[in-house]
Structure 1
Amino acid sequence: MDTVANHPDPAFPRFHPRPAKGWINDPNGLSYVDGRYHVFFQYNPDSARHSAIRWGHLSSPDLVRWVEEPVALRPQPGGPDALGCWTGVVTDDDGVPTAAYSGVDSTDGKSRVVLARGSGDLTAWTQDGHVAAGMPPDPQVTAVRDPFIFHFQGRRYALQGAGLASGRAAVLLYGVDELRTWKYEGVWFSSDQPLAARHLPAEIWECPQLVRVPDSSGAETWLLMASLCLSGDLHEHANGVGYLLGSVVPGIAGQPVFAPETGGKADLGRDFYAPQILPLPKRTLLWGWSPEAARGGERPGRSQEQTDDAGWAGILTFPGQLSVHGGALAVEPAAELQAYRGARLYAGAAGTLSLPRYAEAHVSGGEGRIRLILRSMRGQRTVFTEEAAGGDDFRIFVDASIVEAYHHGSVPTTVRAYPDPDEAWQLELPHGASADVWELRYPDDA
């Protein structure tokens, strides 16, 4: 994106697409239409703070070259989204691209599902304020948000994340035979379930999603993923994002019933939240949100004043490709990201390696601890560390202030760090490990 190539802030990412200014958070409305990927996202172009939320829009033919499109959805004065167009999805409704999102018009935390119609190329949107679902008439439901649409046995359904009066987190189920009128079916799944209590501890489940994921065993495996919100959370979410794997079978009146079998964390880092999944015929992709990290202790973060001065906040992660191996979720970087590899700085190197501000390291073999650190004459800070066993394989991306470390056959670790002017990146490899390292560049760069 031309707007970011020469950004004045050294912490600004060059290869993770986002506008040059403003606040961004959750990816929304992931779509693949006529050979282009579309990523919408929560957006405030006017400041680096979380307010007056719109839907921003990026598109790409190849997951490498991104174009910033016009703002898609805006709060409508007097409408059900007057205080923000919040998280949702884009679906096809009889050939018409349609956004289903959380609209908010009051400060009581209650939201409604609002629809907007898009053009065929998703670049123009009509908002008439149509409400497809209000707060459910259910006294146990105290908070609702983030609609997600899926299909099961030829019928269309939707989920919303929720919090219950009991303090439990839940997913609500809706029948959506007619997109303009959703039928509330009740609390579908909650943290009462033992595996959910273990792997998805929260007071509200945000951004719930239910998709089939390719399983190396050949089984039909369903993934339920949710972001784990606690009442004290602001923009850092200590519980992160959890997932459950299992099966979906028909229940009463053919409605889907989810039977979990195992679970875990979708990302092992502190700076990953609110992902959205894009199921495609031959693969399943995921983008997440990496918020700015607050400074504290050894945490290489930024104060709110520093973020305000910088004029931007939030990064969308690289697209990850989902699969299931051995009953666990695995996330690999999308193959297209190899197009960012520029000059090879190391080939089969060992020991301690110096990395530039934009780099990819492919680490293989070895036994012991991998460490990515920021080092200066004043000392060092560990940004990422993980134990490697024989045969393990890692791909570690550094893009200014975001680090994404992918462990082959497992889930990644996403962290934020802000190098001081006198600090440099170094990668410490365990005994027996070797690494290839590339400087990142755009394919069109000379």
Structure 2
Amino acid sequence: MDTAAQHQDPAFPQFHPRPANGWINDPNGLSHVDGRYHVFFQYNPDSARHGAICWGHLSSPDLVHWDEEPVALRPQPGGPDALGCWSGVVTDDGGVPTAVYSGVDTVGGYSRVVLARADRTLRSWTQDGHVAAEVPPDPQVTAVRDPFLFSFQDRRFALQGAGLASGHAAVLLYSVEDLHHWTYEGIWFSSEDPLAARHLPAEIWECPQLVRVPDSSGAETWLLMASLWLAADQHDHPNGVGYLLGSLVPNGNGLPVFTPASGGKADLGREFYAPQLLALPDRALLWGWSGEAEASEERPGRSQAETDDAGWAGILTFPRQLSVHGEVLAVEPAPELRAYRGGRLHHGAAGTLSLPGGAEVRVAGGEGTLRLVLVSAGQRRTVFADTVAGGDELRIFVDASMVEVYRHGSVPTTLRAYPGAGEEWQLELPHGAAADVWELRQPERADHETVR
């Protein structure tokens, strides 16, 4: 992709791929098909505002070189998705890639589960308006959205996020022996559970995810993740994303039962929401959505007018690799991202370091407060600050207005900041800390790769 090189906005990311214009939000349909990764996402190609949502599409052979593909799904006039093709997944249905997503056809209406089918390249899609699951006939369920499929003991099941009349958030369970006709099994898990109430406080659980993750103990550990929606939210979600780790066992009817053992936040930043997980045979990957930070008295950001003028909104995070150590979720940047390292600007450096607008920093050791700041003549803005202790290791990525901070053995912090004219990035290291800094650069493609 060369959209970044052509874009005039200094806040536009150079290494996080996205279309040059338009609104994006939730990653959808994460897939690895015939050796190629596919990331779909909520997309309005015609405006930097949320509306007329399609599915945009990026693909990559290696998580580093990305190509923008044709728009995959569009709202169909008169269809069950007439007002938007909302979040969902892509699954293999007898060898046919199939999108399973929320469709809405009336203002304020409930979403239904809609199917669309593709060829093996996932570039050519057929939308025939098939509805696989209607709104459950359950008076307790007041909201439903965002289907997610998983397999357990050779059976296929699905979850949907929900809100309940009691005020609790929940996930609903479906048996999916036939992808075209789902069987509603009831309210599966909710924030009535004490651990869920603590770690996943919400009125609706959006984008529920359930996958097995590698556990250093050898245990069979399942990760339940949900985005925490409140009625007061617009496109800012202060409760963020929570997770629970636990076990999955069958009940007498062979339906899965989830028992949580621990939990926490999936990301500590405010600009992170609606992640999706991709479970592969040897690892679990995650992408999340980072929205534009609107200016307020509490934090600098962009006004809606500035976003409209820029013509784009929203970034997807770098791919992240998940594991579990001691009942704690550990999230690291995917190893493939090392390919973005260009020239090394600092090695084992201390003190205060100047950073380019595209940089990776690895920090080890030290005791005290680390700060990432934007500095200009007489002005200093702190973007990120945290305390580090002797054994800590951090990796920090700066890409125009996108900042991702990874703490080894823990979860990241995703932030947005908009450098002004004359501002430069600086990293202030605590006493005893040492940093390596690389300037990010786009690696050349292998000879056999072609730009699509």
Task: Report the TM-score range of the alignment, normalised by the length of the smaller protein.
Answer: over 0.9
- Measure the CA separation in 1 of the matches of 2:370 and 2:124: 47
What RMSD over aligned residues (CA atoms) do the two structures have, in Å?
Answer: 0.8
Measured after TM superposition, the shift of residue 298 of structure 1 is 4.9
Q: What does residue 263 of structure 1 align with?
A: 263
How far residue 297 of structure 1 moved from its aligned partner, in angstroms, is: 2.2
Residues in 1 aligned to 2:323 and 2:123: alpha-carbon distance in whole angstroms: 31
Aligned to 2:161: 161
Amino acid at match of 2:190: S
Name the residue aligned to 1:426: 426
Tell me what 1:435 maps to: 435
1:332 match: secondary structure: strand
What is the match of residue 412 of structure 1? 412
**Is contact 1:298–1:381 with CA below 8 Å preserved after alignment?**
no
Q: Who is 1:354 aligned against? A: 354
- Structure 1 residue aligned with 2:235: 235
Structure 2 partner of 1:377: 377
Identify if the C-alpha distance between structure 1 residues 191 and 52 changes in structure 2 by more than 3 Å, giving closer, same or farther. Answer: same
Question: Does residue 307 of structure 2 align to residue 307 of structure 1?
Answer: yes
Unpaired runs of at least 5, structure 1? none
Shift of 1:133: 0.4
> Which residue pairs with 2:449 in the alignment?
none
Secondary structure in structure 2 of the residue aligned to 1:63? coil
1:32 aligns with 2:32: yes
Aligned residue for 1:173?
A: 173
Give, in whole Å, the separation in 2 of the partners of 1:378 and 1:103: 51
Contact kept in structure 2, 1:100 and 1:116, CA below 8 Å: yes
Aligned runs of 1:73-92 on 2, under 5 Å?
Answer: 73-92=73-92
| 1-structure distance, mates of 2:421, 2:189 | 49
**Equivalents in 2 of 1:15, 1:7: separation in Å?**
12
- State the alpha-carbon separation in 2 of the partners of residues 283 and 160 from structure 1: 24
Give the SS at the match of 1:382.
strand
Q: In the alignment, which residue of structure 2 is the partner of 1:70?
A: 70
Distance 1:209 1:444 in 2: 34
Equivalent residue letter for 1:269: G
Aligned-residue offset at 1:184? 0.6
Partner of 2:108: 108
CA deviation after TM superposition for structure 1 residue 389, in Å: 1.2
Q: What is the CA distance between 1:423 and its match in structure 2? A: 1.3
Q: Is the 8 A contact 1:104 1:111 kept in 2?
A: yes
Q: Distance in 1 between matches of 2:395 and 2:411?
A: 12
After superposition, residues 173-322 of structure 1 pair within 5 angstroms as 173-322=173-322
Give a deviation string over 1:178-221, Cα, whole Å, max 9, x none.
00001111100000000000000000000001100000111110
1:109 deviates by 4.1
State how far apart, in whole Å, the 2-side matches of 1:95 and 1:356 are: 46
The whole-number CA distance in structure 2 between the counterparts of 1:72 and 1:92 is: 16
Determine if contact 1:42/1:86 at 8 Å carries over to the other structure: yes
Which residue identity lines up with residue 272 of structure 1 in the other structure? Answer: F
Match of 1:13 in 2: 13
**Percent sequence identity over aligned pairs:** 77
Contact 1:132 1:181 in 2 (8 A): yes
Report the alpha carbon displacement of residue 252 of structure 1 after superposing the two structures with TM: 3.2
Who is 1:386 aligned against? Answer: 386
TM-superposition CA deviations, 1:398-438 (whole Å, max 9, x none): 00001000000000000000011121111011111100001
Aligned residues: 445
Paired letter, 1:437: V
CA distance in 1, matches of 2:243, 2:392: 23
Task: Provide the C-alpha distance between the structure 2 equivalents of 1:78 and 1:129, rounded to a whole number of angstroms.
Answer: 9
Taking the aligned partners of 1:115 and 1:359, their CA distance within structure 2 comes to 41
Which amino acid in structure 1 is aligned with residue 125 of structure 2? W
Structure 2 Cα separation of the partners of residues 428 and 269 of structure 1: 20
Give the aligned partner of residue 364 of structure 2.
364
Alignment match, 1:127: 127
Residue type at the aligned position of 2:211: V
Instruction: Normalising by structure 2, report the TM-score.
Output: 0.98
Structure 2 unaligned residues grouped into runs of 5+: 446-452
The separation in 2 between residues aligned to 1:166 and 1:304, in whole angstroms, is 35
**Aligned residue number for residue 140 of structure 2:** 140
Instruction: Map Cα deviations across residues 302-360 of structure 1 (whole Å, 9 max, x no partner).
Output: 00000000000000000000000111000000011011111111010001101011100
- Are the aligned partners of 1:109 and 1:143 in contact in 2 as well (CA < 8 Å)? no
Give the TM-score taking structure 1 as reference length: 0.99
